Each structure stands twice: as structure tokens, then as C-alpha cells.
Structure 1
Amino acid sequence: MNTGSAPATVLHPVPYHSQWASPELVAAIIAGALDAAEDPLWPKYGAETPEEYAWWSWRLCGMACLRMCLDHWQQTVPTAMDLAKECVEAGAYVHRADGGLDGLIYGPFAAYATRRWGLEAVVRPALPQQEIPQLLASGRLVVLSVHPSIRTLAPEPPRKGGHLVLAVGATPEHVLIHNPSGFPDRSQQFAPVPWTDLGRFYAGRGVVLGPGA
């Protein structure tokens, strides 16, 4: 991959946050071996009940990415539920009549991240993967829309997008991601995804975040 004038390697020491309260239980939860409501750390999520936690935990990959950015650039790291409720008010999540949830909606989310947290947030509906190294080298972090099976580098994902991860580094061979639904000791923190594999998961869009003024 041609990375232009970007350095050969860039890596930001971003703290990791899972979209579940117990990162070590993610594999069991995704496999259906454990109901998310049984996560013993659910109160740390900011939910009022285990059921509320379980419902939201499957949907807050974007809030996990935001928490990582806030932990990296600021000292304030609200709970996932606190952020989710604010994003509902901001229009970045929209409850549907059928009980589902639309979001993360990039435009309202970027406006919220700028207004509420003073971040620089730029929506990129078209973001070629060749630009990611330069963005990282400039001090930004990049939220990428990928298929969740990126956690295992599945050979044939059914589609692109549907899940958000945070690009925190790049080498000539890999993009390094923090995956909110990654598997422990395998694909959660600084997980290397070969540039040659990224395209089959990556929907070509995302949000570029910076620390602001």
C-alpha cells in the first residue's frame, strides 16, 4: 500500500475500552455461551439493570471508541450509558418504533463530540484506506466502519460495515485497531489487520477525531 509521506510506523498509546463491561467475557457473550446480562461488572456500564446493560452493550461500539478517545486526550471518561443517553438526545442514536435502534449516525455524533467534548470531529463518508496512515501520523484517531468478523479476519464476510473500530496505529503492512468487540488476547488491543485484508471488511467510511484546540 502506498502510504505517501507518512512515516513507516505510527502508534498512539490509546487505552482500550470494550463495548462490554468485562472484556475477558466477550468471546463467550458473542458465542451465546453467556448472556450479557450475566456480566458481573454490568453496574460499571452505568446501566440501571442487567437487562438494560445487555440490550445496549451489543450496540455501543461507537461509545467504546469515543471512550477510548476521551481516555487518550482527556481525563474525563464517562460511562458508556451516560454517553449513549447524551447521543440519543443529540440525535446520534434514534429509537425505532419496532424497538430497534438506528445509529451511530455520524453527523449528529460528530457535532456532539465537538460541542460536548471539544474534539475535532470530521465525518468522512468516503475515506480511502490509503489516507488512514497520514491521518494517524497527524495525531488523529480514526473510527472505521467494518464488518464485525474483522475480529477473526474471516475469509468471506457477508457484507462490509456494521461495526465500529478505532484505528490507533499503522505500519507498512498493517493498520492497528482497538476493536470494541474483539476477542481477548487476540483481537482487542492494537490488533494488526493487514492492509490487504482490510478492504473486505471496511465500508470505506468513518469519522476522523482529533484533540481539538
Structure 2
Amino acid sequence: MAPAVLMHQVPYYAQYESAELVPGLIAGTITPADDPRWSRSGATNREEYAFWASRTCGVACLRMALGHWGYAVPRSVPLARDLFVAGAYVRDGNSVRGLIYRPFADHVQARWGLRAHVEPTLTAGMVRRHLADGGLALISVHKAIRDPGTTQPPSRGGHLVLAVGATEDALLIHNPSGLPGTSQQYAPVSWGRLAAFSAGRGVLLGDRWDRSPTGIRATGARLS
């Protein structure tokens, strides 16, 4: 029987190098170019960092998953560049389309050997079962999920978060653009409210098979 609380020990990475600046970025009082830690991203300059930072929710989710399963975690902008080359982002001038799931999943499988399954009809039950099996899930939600209790989103999808655990009452997520202290790490979203934000699609991630010396399946499940 699955435990009442399922919580994978997953490191948190925001899509911005200074996660505490998210409220100001949302309010528009500062821009990503004002981030004093921009160089940690691996960007060549502030302009490149500012271009990618608001578009890398999926990159942040992948970095968290890699850290969870013990892989070296690339810096955010070089990883975004790699995904662009792989076709997971398509750039047209100053606009970017993506994250595009199929080339993303193919790249994740080819580079790290992780299991990555694109799911165009992702239900809450599927996410919960996948978490119980030791996996993590990128799910497409509206960005207003950072305040799920009081906000009614105008649409579904458009932002990626990482499902990292579950309780009887809620899904637990790491939100790359969540609010510090409230909705960045292990943020609960009630099962009843999740449907208002979720687009019902995403990517199910799992650790590669046979990483252990004995050849036993390594799922990466770490429960508390």
C-alpha cells in the first residue's frame, strides 16, 4: 500500500538564478537583466540570460530531476542551448516556441539514459501512480498555480512544474517561478484545484534501468 505522504528528495532550482527576486519579476519592478547572479547561469552576458530566464521553466525542471538521480547538473543557459540544438526550442527572432516535448524526451534519453515518456493525456491519477513508482513528472499548468488557493486562471497550461510528491489531499510540486517561502518547494496543490490549472499533458521521467552494480532496477525513489 502506498504511504499517505510520498515525498521524493529533489533539489530545487528556480528558472532565475536569484529565486528570491520572483515577486519583483512578477510585479515588473525588476527584469531578469537586473539579477545580480546572472553569470551563474552560464550565459555569455546579461542579455542572453534575460532572453532565456523567463523561458526556462522546463530547463529548471530537468535540472531538478538530474540532481535527484545523482547526475551532474548543467548550468541553465548552456542546457537551454543544447535543447535548442536538439529541437526542443524553436526560435523565431525574439520569440521562442517550446518546450516541445518529443525532441526534449529524445534528448533526455540520448544524453542521460533517463526514461522520458511524452503523455498527451496526463491525468492526476497517472501522475500519482508514477510518483509512487519512483518517477517524477513535468506537468503543463498555468503560471498562476503559484497561488492556487485564491487564483482562478484564465486558461490552462503554458508553464512547467515538477511533480515531486503527493499526499491524500494534494500534489506536491517544485515550481521554477514559485513565490519564495510559499510556493517554490513542495508546494501543495489540492487534487480538486489541480484541474483548473493543468493542461492535461506533460512528460513522465524515470531513472535509467540497471544503474546499480547488481543490475536491479534503480527507480530513484526516496521517500520520507
TM-score, normalised via structure 2 length = 0.90
Structure 2 counterpart of 1:15 = 11
- Does structure 1 residue 38 correspond to structure 2 residue 27? no
Q: Which 4+ stretches in 1 moved above 3 angstroms?
A: none
**CA distance in structure 2 between the partners assigned to 1:137 and 1:130 by the alignment:** 11
- Does structure 1 residue 109 correspond to structure 2 residue 104? yes
Mapping of residues 109-148 of structure 1, within 5 Å = 109-148=104-143
- Does structure 1 residue 70 correspond to structure 2 residue 66? yes
**CA distance in structure 1 between the partners assigned to 2:208 and 2:154 by the alignment:** 37
Q: Which runs of 5+ in 2 are unaligned?
A: 210-224
**CA distance in structure 2 between the partners assigned to 1:145 and 1:128 by the alignment:** 11
Letter in 2 for 1:26: V
State the shift of 1:82 in Å. 1.2
Q: Secondary structure at the match of 2:196?
A: coil
Retained in 1: the 8 A contact 2:88–2:103?
yes
**CA distance in structure 1 between the partners assigned to 2:55 and 2:25 by the alignment:** 13
Mapping of residues 23-62 of structure 1, within 5 Å = 23-62=19-58
Letter in 1 for 2:131: L
Deviations 1:106-147 (A, max 9, x none): 000000000011110000000111221111010000000000
TM-score, normalised via structure 1 length = 0.95
- Does structure 1 residue 160 correspond to structure 2 residue 159? no
State the shift of 1:12 in Å. 0.1
State the shift of 1:29 in Å. 1.1
Q: Secondary structure at the match of 1:199?
A: helix
Retained in 2: the 8 A contact 1:6–1:134?
no
Structure 2 counterpart of 1:185 = 181
Q: Secondary structure at the match of 1:200?
A: helix
How many residues align? The count is: 208
Q: Secondary structure at the match of 2:117?
A: strand
Q: Secondary structure at the match of 1:133?
A: helix
Q: Secondary structure at the match of 1:169?
A: strand
**CA distance in structure 1 between the partners assigned to 2:165 and 2:158 by the alignment:** 21
**CA distance in structure 1 between the partners assigned to 2:116 and 2:188 by the alignment:** 24
Retained in 1: the 8 A contact 2:144–2:151?
no
Moved more, 70-79 or 180-189: 70-79
Moved more, 68-77 or 144-153: 68-77
> What is the Cα-based RMSD across aligned positions, in Å?
1.0
Identity over the aligned pairs, expressed in percent? 51
Q: Which runs of 5+ in 1 are unaligned?
A: none
Structure 1 counterpart of 2:166 = 170
Retained in 2: the 8 A contact 1:6–1:133?
no
Retained in 2: the 8 A contact 1:177–1:191?
yes
State the shift of 1:35 in Å. 1.5
**CA distance in structure 2 between the partners assigned to 1:155 and 1:95 by the alignment:** 31
State the shift of 1:75 in Å. 3.3
Retained in 1: the 8 A contact 2:140–2:159?
yes
Structure 2 counterpart of 1:198 = 194
- Does structure 1 residue 84 correspond to structure 2 residue 80? yes
Retained in 2: the 8 A contact 1:161–1:202?
yes
